[in-house]
Amino acid sequence: MRKLHELPTPALVVDAGALEHNLAVMARALPGARLRPHVKATKCTALARRQAALGHRGFCCATVREMEGMAAAGLGDDLLLANETLAAHRLGRLDAHVTVAVDSEPTIAAAADGGVREVLIDVNVGLPRCGCAPDQAGRLADLARRRGLRVRGVMGYEGHAMPVAGRAARKAVVDAAMAQLAAAHAQVGGDVISAGGTGSFDLNELATEIQAGSYSLMDTHYARLDLPFRPAFWVWSTVVSTSAVFAVCDAGLKSLGMDHGNPAIDGAKVWFCSDEHVTFSPDEAAAGGGLHARVGDRVRVWPAHVDPTVAYHERLYVADGDDVVETWEIDLRGW
């Protein structure tokens, strides 16, 4: 058993108690097949096994590599690639139950030619990313069936609703998006309506399954919302330099997802991040005048976005207090 202070930094650490709380809360809210955990958030089959042990046997993936890794780990009962791909031939040969999202004639052809048997019609419900127009969903479903594919239903991600502050305002955006998905589903048919995420897990009333991922670890971006999940992971960092007014620790752009803004440090104000460093100063508004760091001190740097932060690291250290009780490989990272 190692201690936290023995870890080389920067290191990605997850608090065992907070993680178990988050997994248990979600399992009660969305038992069994009502949740399809999205492994893009954690890229870790050891954590996925914890989710499967709680009854969540179907998983959502973002990359072909994630699908291959989950199948190889024996977690292939029901895998959904919730992204379009032209490399479906790699999925058709997996020893797993595979479903692929499609939104065009070329992606349908890739699935059929690649040996994939089941698809969801991906519908654009307001987030300008992948997905067909709602009024094209029926046509694409018919084409998929003519190509010999089983159309399980529809998928639509209301990602633009996730950061909306206030439950009522967020639900209004979710409901508007799901009205479009419901219209598409009426054309397509099938048993599956796959949608949602951590920010709408308890607001989305249409989806038969919710694709939440960040809930297990959480980040400061989601922590702004009124959600029942606890911040469970941080980048463990060492103070390497100080001055009269600021300090510098050895995390930085290469160990933190920055697309949602700066990370946070308890009792401090983060000034900025550079490649290998976070510059911060004591938060004088905090109780006791904030954090006063010395060279060699360890600090918790709380990331703003789970998914890209995890993808920068090779492993997760699971901690119970100061004890590192497990080490989990982030074995689904990379493309």
- The span from the CA of 70 to the CA of 76, in Å, is 6
Is 285 a residue whose pLDDT tops 70?
A: no
Give the helix ranges, DSSP H, for 219-295: 220-223
Mean pLDDT, range 12-20, rounded to an integer: 98
Q: What is the DSSP string of 24-81?
A: HHHHHHS-GGGB--BGGGT--HHHHHHHHHTT--EEEESSHHHHHHHHHTT--SEEEE
Going by C-alpha positions, the residue among 305, 314, 306 that lies closest to residue 334 is 314
Q: How sure is the predictor about 76, in pLDDT bands with cuts at 50, 70 and 90?
A: very high
Q: How sure is the predictor about 291, in pLDDT bands with cuts at 50, 70 and 90?
A: confident
Predicted pLDDT at 284: 76
Q: What percent of the chain has pLDDT over 90?
A: 95
Find the distance separating the first CA and the last CA of the chain, reported in whole Å.
32
Q: What percent of the chain has pLDDT over 70?
A: 99
Is 322 a residue whose pLDDT tops 70?
A: yes
Predicted pLDDT at 292: 83
Predicted pLDDT at 286: 66
Tokens of 207: 């989806």
Domains along the chain? 2-11+230-329 (2.40.37.20), 31-211 (3.20.20.10)
Predicted pLDDT at 196: 98
Predicted pLDDT at 138: 98
Mean pLDDT, range 163-192, rounded to an integer: 97
Predicted pLDDT at 287: 62
- Give the number of other Cβ atoms within 10 Å of residue 70's Cβ: 23
Mean pLDDT, range 158-166, rounded to an integer: 95
pLDDT tens figures, 188-243? 999 999 999 999 999 999 999 999 999 999 999 999 999 999 999 999 999 999 99
User: CA-based Rg of the chain, rounded to a whole angstrom?
Assistant: 21
